[in-house]
Structure formats: structure tokens, C-alpha cells
Amino acid sequence: MEPGHWTSEHSDALRDYFLRGVSYAEIGHQINARFGTAYTRNAVVGRAKRLGLIAPTRMTSPSIVPSWPGEAGLLSPRPSALPDLNLPPMSAMKPAARVKLRCVGVQPRLIQLVELAPTDCRYPYGGDKDGEEITFCGHPCQPGSSYCTPHAGLTRRSGPASARVAGPVALRLVPVA
């Protein structure tokens, strides 16, 4: 069979299976078994799009040919037989709740990594956008931390779990059985 050639019987079978809600891969298996063809899932999806069963996923540009009022344009989209199945659920269309960001009242020195001293705060700033430089706070560190006092508070969990201070861990060697 010549690739890309769909006979009318194959297209009719595709349309029937599609309207029954069969998956594209299963449609390909059914048509291949019924007609002795070798259509892939992607071939079935492409043919379904060309038959107008699936709305195209990319946006088309409007016609550049002007049309008279009441007259359809040359490139007017044909009405879809089924509703657009590519739309996200309505719950995803609602605006997200505003997040309150945690911040501290410290003016960072914005030092580059290569200029940081061992006792400088390593709280990062920037790097949110592609190509944006990352700099660091640079204020003196709190003892036993990589951050200054205000930034150390941001990096720890709040609540009863953070009230526990872990003591030293004792490791011991255990003989292998």
C-alpha cells in the first residue's frame, strides 16, 4: 500500500470508530486488521485532522483577502463536527490566587560568586529570567550557617518542627553479619 493513501472505506471506518470514542491507536489496529493495512497511530491522527474530526492545534492567520459584509472570507474556518477537544478544563482558566512572597528587610550587597568571602551570606538574587545574572546577599553570615540572620529565617521551616534543634549525630561502626 502506498503511504499516505486513504481509500474512502478506510476513511469511513476511521470516522465510525472516532465517533464511537475509540482511541487513535486502537483505530489504527482495527483498520489494519480489517483491511490488511499498516497505518500508524500518527497516520490515523493526521487523517482525522484532514477529515475535520479534530480541530487543528495551531492558530491560523486570518485571510488577507477582504470580504464584503455578509460574505464569507476565502479562508473561513469550517465548523467543527465536535467541540474543540484541545481546550483546558474550566478550572484551569480561573486566575490563580495571589501568593504572598516571603521577604526580609535587608538591602543585599549583590556580590558575584567569585567575589564571595567564606563568611559572606550566600542567599541568591536574580537568575529568574534566561541570561539574568545571579548575585548573592554578601552580608556577614550567622555562625554555623551559610546565610545572614534575616535570610537564615527564610531558609528554615516555620512551625513546631523547626523548633527542634538537631544535636550532634553519633556514628558507630557495626560489624557485618
Would you write out the chain's pLDDT as a tens digit for each of its 177 residues?
Answer: 445 689 999 999 999 999 998 999 999 999 999 999 999 999 999 999 888 887 656 655 555 555 566 555 555 555 555 555 666 666 666 776 766 666 777 888 888 888 999 999 998 888 877 888 889 999 999 888 889 988 888 777 655 554 555 667 677 777 886
pLDDT at 27: 94
Report the alpha-carbon distance of residue 157 to residue 139 in Å, rounded: 22
Q: Which amino acid is at 153?
A: G
| 141 plus 88 within the same structural domain | no
Containing domain of residue 32, as a range?
Answer: 1-58+81-93
Strand partners, 134: 126
| 33 plus 86 within the same structural domain | yes
Report the alpha-carbon distance of residue 2 to residue 43 in Å, rounded: 13
Three cell numbers, residue 9: 472505506
Is 169 part of a structural domain of the chain?
no
pLDDT at 1: 42
| 38 plus 122 within the same structural domain | no
| 87 plus 128 within the same structural domain | no
Is 150 part of a structural domain of the chain?
yes
pLDDT at 173: 77
Q: Tell me the HSE value of 94 on the side-chain side, using a 13 A CA sphere.
A: 6
What's the total number of domains in the chain?
2
Nearest to 106 by CA among 154, 143, 156, 163: 154
| 46 plus 124 within the same structural domain | no
Is 177 part of a structural domain of the chain?
no
Is 172 part of a structural domain of the chain?
no
| 6 plus 89 within the same structural domain | yes
pLDDT at 149: 87
Q: Which amino acid is at 119?
A: T
pLDDT at 102: 63
pTM for the model stands at 0.35
Report the alpha-carbon distance of residue 59 to residue 148 in Å, rounded: 50
| 86 plus 153 within the same structural domain | no
| 123 plus 54 within the same structural domain | no
| 87 plus 143 within the same structural domain | no
| 32 plus 88 within the same structural domain | yes
Is 4 part of a structural domain of the chain?
yes
